[in-house]
A and B are shown apart, each in its own frame.
Chain A
Amino acid sequence: MGKTILCACEDVTLSDVRRAFAEGHRDLESVKRYTGFGTGPCQGKSCLNAVVQEMIRLGATAAEIAPFTPRPPVQPVTFGSLAALDPEALPVDHGVPVPALPAPPCPGPSGPLPERADVVIVGGGILGLSLAHQLTLRGVREVVVLERSYLNAGASGRNGGGVRAQWSTPTMVRLGLRSLKLFGSFAGDTGVNGWFRRGGYLFLAPDGSQVKRLERNQAIQREQGMRTRILSPGEACAVVPQLDGSRFVAASWNPDDGVVFPWPFLWGYADAARSRGATVRTFTPVTGLDVQGGLVRAVETASGRIRCDTVVNAAGAWSPGVARLAGVNLPNRPTRHEILVSGPMKPWLGPLVSALGTGLYFSQSQRGEIVGGMGDPDEPAGISHGSTLRFLARFSRALVGYVPLTAGLPVMRQWAGSYDVTPDNNPILGAAGPANFLQLNGFVGHGFMMAPAVTEAMAEWMTGREKDEIFDRFTLDRFASGGGVGEDFIIG
């Protein structure tokens, strides 16, 4: 039996589409992510209609074939061409409004929601799904995860996949190290490949003050057994020969940090949790929380109401909205973060590189694309997923400055996600408002990399075992009492 190739860029076959659909990836956004069709150099121009024809044959509904969000540019354009633009001539803008989380009513073969659960987790990102995985591992049977859109629709499916332990406080270093270990064992634990690769993280310091910051962090990291080293520009260029060594004065290097391909982590944790009895339901927004006597008694959705003992708010940038349903005000401010990928290149870049002071970071994915982003200090708060030319111009100027050889690489696709930003750049954990309403949000762009360790600790605590200090330290009340040390090592 030979192959019928529906997507020639990524070698996606007719059988791949059929398999994805049969495994429950029924909507077009999910089929795209699971098979990879439309993510190559043609960006779906040749293959989209053929895939949809097949999905219709397989029984997809009109809502399920809603076409995936358009991603600029329309034709590949090189970093060099974009670097010719003056970003300052392009003021901050929301871009073309895109539905932040499309939620088509997907009447898939999902059956009714359970009437009761031990734990309902709001948000099917990596935090919610990994928590479900960890809870079911500890014998909690009745766990329900409610995701308002498809898996990977939120920040967990939009981030650059960097995972590191180079942090600035002992707590974050400890969590980062534990997460790295769990990322390493993910494939074996769940049977799904996450393409975790320890290529290291290289932080470039442009001046003496940033070097001091790196040296301070290095001391904390080495105390916990990390191999972090401060490198001279020459040593850093030995790690990444394409770097322009005149652009920085020193670098911090931990060879044990790494990158992952984010999407499979959601599939893997969801599959693992489901196999132990959890329910993971997509396209199911939470419409209400029934609070009585200081407890959330039930979670309401358009497809039914679930009575429950505990509710976890793991809705990322949408967490303040979920908390309001229980009368709780969270200080989180969602902030857009834009990101892009280049065309696929043969491997040349080992680590994730981050240029301190600029917000620029970039790495090379398993498929060979340069994946990178760059925070914009002028970005206003608010959920906005539009893509801008300003970002392309800023990123390209910075990237071509640090790695001149990238000028000839084409940008293939750009998109945006939301950082879930708190006043001190640390998460919000534990009960807030009703005693059984637990927060698991406010991770400011590093929720993905922290998820395995934090959810493991949270499941321990929720099942009556050890309580990690983070659940005392990162409570909502810290903002009222003015306590807590801020995290200053946020990228982007």
Chain B
Amino acid sequence: MPRLRDSRFATDCTVTFDGHAVPARSGESVASALLAAERLVVSRSSKYHRPRGPFCLSGSCGSCLVRVDGEPNRRACRTPCRDGMTVESQNAWPDASHDLLGVIDPLTPHGLDVHHMFTSPLTVNRALVTFTRRLAGFGRMPDRPAPAGPPVTPECFDALVLGAGPAGLAAAEVLAAEGKRVLLVDRDLLPGGRLRTGLEPGAAPPSWPAGVLRAVTAAGGEFALGTTATGIWRDGGSPVCLLVSDDPPRTRLVRAARIVACTGGHARPPTFEGNDLPGIHSGRALALALAEHGVLPGRHVAVLGAGPEAAALSARFAAAGLDATQVRGAVTLARGRSRVRSLLLADGTSIPCDVVAQGEPPAPGPDLLRALGVGVDWDPDIEAFAPRVAPDGTTSVPGLLAAGEVARPVSAAEAVAWGRRAGEAARG
């Protein structure tokens, strides 16, 4: 079974996926429970009806959208399991594993030129519009109106720290020590971010995240877990952040003299043929699911990348008893039908595998910073856009700071140090 046999990882609840019972652990994400149950395909893709399943498991990609208790287009990776929860696949018939429209993909080996196909005669064009509209869209309308959350009263804090990973925790710790009233927010139910993967054990003591939360509270601040920063606007002339949590539903509107964005980066999908096959995931997310919920993603893991993160991932998967191969060379093709079965390398070697872990570090995630006008530059070294964040965490926008992988790939220890500097810069 792809969950470690260990009492620490015992399941305690059941969700259903397309009518099948899926054992789960309260609080783990639906995506994690589905991986453990080897149900990798949760929908079909928008145009070619290719099998789709969780990739990033961290709310960056859009590959795990499911229907949860009658509400469409929910990210399986952002939805904590609750006993009796009903999860359904989307955009597939009869189901995501056996979708009749899956024939579109092999029938269109060169893709579809949607702008120029079937433009005439008029009757054919009209039929195209009618037909594609039926196929289009993703989730079905909700069964009933969503429950309304309580009315929102705007709140003010000395500092709003977004993200309780190494950088955010460090920044919040410094600010709390100064007596600042901090609101520390993380979309996960536990603090720690990447520290929870255990891939970089020396970066901070295991008890540190909980200690920071206590310090934040002791200084009159607050922490909000399971809470997503959905955006920052400038209404009223100063930044205002909209925080949303689902269970219970609550919307918060927060202004703060200082905002420190430590929301981390975005997992990078690989870019070879067949790169979207289920079974290809962010390595870090797999390590987290393994560490916290004992989820074994498969038996034969190919880890992409030549850097320290890929090496640490390979070691971690091997230690869990998996057959782990670190793939340093260029991959040209992933083979498989509804799940990856092997990788073909540029030198002709074939690597059999049932799971691929992206071991390249995440790309910067500058979205929140860009929303307030921070510029980005293309960095050819990391082949990604990186926001302009100074070593002390400051940006071109007064009162807006950032630290850690939101800005560029750094180790967890470096993220802690950067977060501390940003906290110091945000004190004044």
Binding site for B on A (CB under 8 A): 1-6, 8-11, 13-16, 19, 34, 40-43, 45-50, 52-53, 56, 62, 65, 67, 70, 72-78, 80-86, 89-91, 93-97, 184-185, 187-188, 190-193, 195-197, 242, 264, 267, 343-348, 366-368, 386-390, 400, 404-405, 407-410
Would you call B139 and A343 a contact (CB within 8 A)?
A: yes
Q: Chain B 189-233, CB within 8 Å of chain A: the 1/0 string? A: 000000000000000000000000000000000000000111111
- Residue in A14, A15, A46, A49 whose CB lies within 8 Å of B62: A46
Give the complex CA separation of A451 and B305 in angstroms.
Answer: 53
B61 at the interface (CB under 8 A from A): yes
Q: Tell me the count of chain B residues lying within 8 A, CB to CB, of chain A.
A: 95
Q: Across the two chains, which residue of chain B brings its CB closest to A348?
A: B141
Give the complex CA separation of A235 and B54 in angstroms.
Answer: 43
- Residue in A8, A65, A77, A78 whose CB lies within 8 Å of B52: A8
Give the complex CA separation of A430 and B131 in angstroms.
Answer: 42
**Please, which residues of chain B bring their CB within 8 A of the CB of A48?**
385
- Residue in A1, A74, A345 whose CB lies within 8 Å of B230: A74
- Residue in A3, A188, A345 whose CB lies within 8 Å of B273: A3
Q: Across the two chains, which residue of chain A brings its CB closest to B74?
A: A410
Most buried by A among B141, B154, B228: B141
Give the complex CA separation of A89 and B125 in angstroms.
Answer: 48
Give the complex CA separation of A15 and B148 in angstroms.
Answer: 44
- Residue in A3, A8, A190, A366 whose CB lies within 8 Å of B133: A366
- Residue in B61, B119, B249 whose CB lies within 8 Å of A42: B61
- Residue in A53, A197, A409 whose CB lies within 8 Å of B142: A409
B399 at the interface (CB under 8 A from A): no
B151 at the interface (CB under 8 A from A): yes
**Please, which residues of chain A bring their CB within 8 A of the CB of B148?**
80, 83-84, 407
Report A359 CB to chain B, min CB distance, Å: 18
**Please, which residues of chain A bring their CB within 8 A of the CB of B60?**
42, 45-46
Within 8 A of A (CB), among B345-389: 363, 365, 367-368, 370-373, 376, 378, 383-385
**Please, which residues of chain B bring their CB within 8 A of the CB of A89?**
154
**Please, which residues of chain B bring their CB within 8 A of the CB of A192?**
115-116, 119
Q: Across the two chains, which residue of chain B brings its CB closest to A195?
A: B129
**Given the known A-B contacts A5-B276, A346-B138, are A193 and B378 also in contact in the complex, defined by CB atoms under 8 Å?**
no
B235 at the interface (CB under 8 A from A): yes
**Please, which residues of chain A bring their CB within 8 A of the CB of B268?**
46, 49-50
Report A77 CB to chain B, min CB distance, Å: 4
Would you call B46 and A40 a contact (CB within 8 A)?
A: yes
Would you call A405 and B141 a contact (CB within 8 A)?
A: yes
**Given the known A-B contacts A70-B370, A77-B231, A193-B117, are A367 and B275 also in contact in the complex, defined by CB atoms under 8 Å?**
no
Would you call B273 and A2 a contact (CB within 8 A)?
A: yes
22 contacts between A and B (CB under 8 A): A15-B111, A41-B73, A42-B61, A46-B56, A49-B384, A67-B370, A74-B368, A74-B371, A84-B150, A89-B154, A90-B235, A93-B236, A96-B373, A188-B119, A196-B129, A267-B115, A346-B137, A347-B134, A366-B129, A367-B136, A400-B145, A408-B142
Give the complex CA separation of A25 and B125 in angstroms.
Answer: 25
Give the complex CA separation of A386 and B268 in angstroms.
Answer: 29
Give the complex CA separation of A400 and B121 in angstroms.
Answer: 40
Give the complex CA separation of A163 and B76 in angstroms.
Answer: 37
Would you call A197 and B133 a contact (CB within 8 A)?
A: yes
Q: Across the two chains, which residue of chain A brings its CB closest to B382?
A: A49
Give the complex CA separation of A97 and B242 in angstroms.
Answer: 19
Report A367 CB to chain B, min CB distance, Å: 5
Give the complex CA separation of A121 and B130 in angstroms.
Answer: 35
Give the complex CA separation of A348 and B237 in angstroms.
Answer: 38
**Please, which residues of chain A bring their CB within 8 A of the CB of B267?**
46
Q: 13 new A-B pairs (CB below 8 Å) besides A52-B385, A343-B138, A366-B136?
A: A5-B269, A8-B45, A8-B63, A41-B65, A41-B73, A45-B365, A76-B73, A82-B242, A84-B149, A84-B151, A344-B138, A345-B139, A348-B140
B47 at the interface (CB under 8 A from A): yes
Report A412 CB to chain B, min CB distance, Å: 9
Would you call A80 and B149 a contact (CB within 8 A)?
A: yes
**Please, which residues of chain B bring their CB within 8 A of the CB of A267?**
115
**Given the known A-B contacts A48-B385, A72-B231, are A347 and B133 also in contact in the complex, defined by CB atoms under 8 Å?**
yes
Would you call A13 and B111 a contact (CB within 8 A)?
A: yes
- Residue in A4, A19, A70, A196 whose CB lies within 8 Å of B371: A70
Would you call B273 and A90 a contact (CB within 8 A)?
A: no
Give the complex CA separation of A192 and B56 in angstroms.
Answer: 36
**Given the known A-B contacts A11-B47, A73-B242, are A345 and B133 also in contact in the complex, defined by CB atoms under 8 Å?**
no
B179 at the interface (CB under 8 A from A): no
Would you call B137 and A344 a contact (CB within 8 A)?
A: yes
Report B318 CB to chain A, min CB distance, Å: 28
Within 8 A of A (CB), among B133-178: 133-134, 136-142, 144-152, 154
**Please, which residues of chain A bring their CB within 8 A of the CB of B144?**
405
B342 at the interface (CB under 8 A from A): no
- Residue in B121, B130, B233 whose CB lies within 8 Å of A95: B233
**Please, which residues of chain A bring their CB within 8 A of the CB of B130?**
197
Would you call B371 and A96 a contact (CB within 8 A)?
A: yes
Q: Across the two chains, which residue of chain B brings its CB closest to A14?
A: B271
Would you call A9 and B129 a contact (CB within 8 A)?
A: no
B50 at the interface (CB under 8 A from A): yes
Would you call A75 and B370 a contact (CB within 8 A)?
A: no
Would you call B272 and A4 a contact (CB within 8 A)?
A: yes
**Given the known A-B contacts A344-B138, A345-B141, are A184 and B367 also in contact in the complex, defined by CB atoms under 8 Å?**
no
B286 at the interface (CB under 8 A from A): no
**Please, which residues of chain B bring their CB within 8 A of the CB of A14?**
271
Would you call A4 and B275 a contact (CB within 8 A)?
A: yes
B244 at the interface (CB under 8 A from A): yes
Within 8 A of A (CB), among B256-305: 266-269, 271-276
Q: Across the two chains, which residue of chain B brings its CB closest to A12?
A: B47
Would you call B111 and A93 a contact (CB within 8 A)?
A: no
Most buried by A among B120, B231, B273: B231
Would you call A347 and B122 a contact (CB within 8 A)?
A: no
- Residue in B47, B73, B146, B229 whose CB lies within 8 Å of A10: B47
Q: Across the two chains, which residue of chain A brings its CB closest to B379?
A: A49
Would you call A93 and B119 a contact (CB within 8 A)?
A: no
Give the complex CA separation of A345 and B142 in angstroms.
Answer: 10
Would you call B139 and A346 a contact (CB within 8 A)?
A: yes
Report B370 CB to chain A, min CB distance, Å: 4
**Please, which residues of chain B bring their CB within 8 A of the CB of A74?**
229-232, 367-368, 371
Would you call A188 and B120 a contact (CB within 8 A)?
A: yes
**Given the known A-B contacts A3-B273, A72-B371, A345-B140, are A388 and B235 also in contact in the complex, defined by CB atoms under 8 Å?**
yes
Give the complex CA separation of A367 and B132 in angstroms.
Answer: 8
B59 at the interface (CB under 8 A from A): yes
Report A474 CB to chain B, min CB distance, Å: 32
Would you call A46 and B152 a contact (CB within 8 A)?
A: no
**Given the known A-B contacts A46-B268, A76-B230, are A389 and B240 also in contact in the complex, defined by CB atoms under 8 Å?**
yes
Most buried by A among B228, B271, B333, B370: B271
B8 at the interface (CB under 8 A from A): no
Report B127 CB to chain A, min CB distance, Å: 12
Q: Across the two chains, which residue of chain A brings its CB closest to B59?
A: A75
Closest A-B pairs by Cβ, 5 of them: A368-B137, A41-B62, A73-B231, A11-B47, A408-B146
Would you call B271 and A53 a contact (CB within 8 A)?
A: yes
- Residue in A96, A191, A368, A405 whose CB lies within 8 Å of B138: A368
Give the complex CA separation of A260 and B113 in angstroms.
Answer: 18
B109 at the interface (CB under 8 A from A): yes
Q: Chain B 26-66, CB within 8 Å of chain A: the 1/0 string? A: 00000000000000000001111010100110011111010
Report B386 CB to chain A, min CB distance, Å: 10
**Please, which residues of chain A bring their CB within 8 A of the CB of B269?**
5, 8, 46-47, 50
**Please, which residues of chain B bring their CB within 8 A of the CB of A193?**
114-119, 125, 128-129
Give the complex CA separation of A76 and B230 in angstroms.
Answer: 7
Would you call A390 and B235 a contact (CB within 8 A)?
A: yes
Give the complex CA separation of A407 and B249 in angstroms.
Answer: 12
B20 at the interface (CB under 8 A from A): no
Would you call A45 and B139 a contact (CB within 8 A)?
A: no
